[in-house]
Amino acid sequence: MIAESEPVDSENYRCSIQPFELQCQPEAEMVEPLGELQSAVMQILWEHGQSTVAEVHEHLSQDREIAYTTVATVLRRMEAREIVSHELHGRTFVYSALLDERTAGNSLVGTLLDNMFRGKASRLVSHLLDREELDPVELQEIKRLINEHEKRKRSKDR
């Protein structure tokens, strides 16, 4: 018997058993969720492109106190996870994002959706609407996105 939430490998899929359901995703789309500092590093790489440890440190230091060595360690660990890569320019490591923003966001939202809202997007949206005071502009934007999604889905179904 497989324990709850224990990973199961099946060829090119990574599966986990949640209470009452088996969930599988292609491995290529699965990314372990990023921590807060890793997310901040990725935001810098997405916004500024290739960056040295010093450049990432400079951007991070605007919002928090952080040691240069901590930034170097985080980047090395992210490289080990194949989230970033580096090129050697002289004696300087220049890092690039291997993970695109959409994939990272999909992974994080997917994990949140599965773990907190039993895989139901409607529960997540309901939670957001109940929890947050949305200004009219933001609420209008959400409605626009839903309408666009419905139009795309209808055009695909034809």
Judgement on whether residues 44 and 23 belong to the same structural domain of the protein: no
Range of the structural domain that residue 68 is part of: 36-97
Judgement on whether residues 40 and 85 belong to the same structural domain of the protein: yes
Q: How confident is the model at residue 23 (pLDDT cuts 50, 70, 90)?
A: very low
Judgement on whether residues 42 and 73 belong to the same structural domain of the protein: yes
For residue 66, what is the domain's CATH number?
Answer: 1.10.10.10
Overall domain count for the chain: 3
Query: What is the rounded distance in angstroms from the CA atom of residue 17 to the CA atom of residue 105?
Result: 22
Judgement on whether residues 129 and 155 belong to the same structural domain of the protein: yes
| Domain assignment of residue 117, yes or no | no
Query: Would the pTM of this model clear 0.85, i.e. be above it?
Result: no
Query: What is the rounded distance in angstroms from the CA atom of residue 52 to the CA atom of residue 106?
Result: 27
| Domain assignment of residue 61, yes or no | yes
Judgement on whether residues 58 and 83 belong to the same structural domain of the protein: yes
| Domain assignment of residue 113, yes or no | no
Residue 153 has pLDDT above 70, yes or no: yes
- Long-range interactions of 72-80: CB distance < 8 A, separation 24+: 74/37, 74/38, 74/41, 75/41, 78/38, 78/41
Backbone angles phi, psi at 44, to 5 degrees: -65, -45
Q: Are 131 and 124 in contact (CB under 8 A)?
A: no
Q: For the segment 10-21, what is each residue's pLDDT rounded down to a tens digit?
A: 444 555 444 444
Q: For the segment 94-144, what is each residue's pLDDT rounded down to a tens digit?
A: 999 998 888 777 767 777 788 788 888 888 888 888 766 778 888 889 889
